Amino acid sequence: MVIKDTNDKDVLIAKITSQTYNTSYDINLQDWKKASLLSPSVVRIHKIQTLHSSLVFGHIGRLTSTDLNAVRKALMRLVVDL
């Protein structure tokens, strides 16, 4: 999942997986079908990386506002817990 694209050569991404995890930084996507994902998925907010934008080939879908708000809250918890 692209968290931030500042239009330089890199993007900030978080891992999305279909494997089940259960930490306070794992967000189970409620609307995974509406996001055009193939199976129930989890955004792992604490698995953040920078990736060169040339390695991003396109996008699969877009999170609903419900799931996006849950991801935002988890990102805030991650930052505040530092």
> Which CATH number characterizes residue 15's domain?
2.30.30.110
* Residue 24 pLDDT exceeds 90: no
Domain that includes residue 66, residue range:
2-80
Confidence band for 39, pLDDT divided at 50, 70 and 90? very high
* Residue 82 pLDDT exceeds 80: no
The count of domains in the chain is 1
Confidence band for 47, pLDDT divided at 50, 70 and 90? very high
Look up the pTM and report it: 0.87
Query: Are 28 and 77 in contact, with CB atoms under 8 Å apart?
Result: no
What are the C-alpha distances in Å from 44 to residues 2, 8, 23, 54, 65?
A: 12, 24, 9, 22, 17
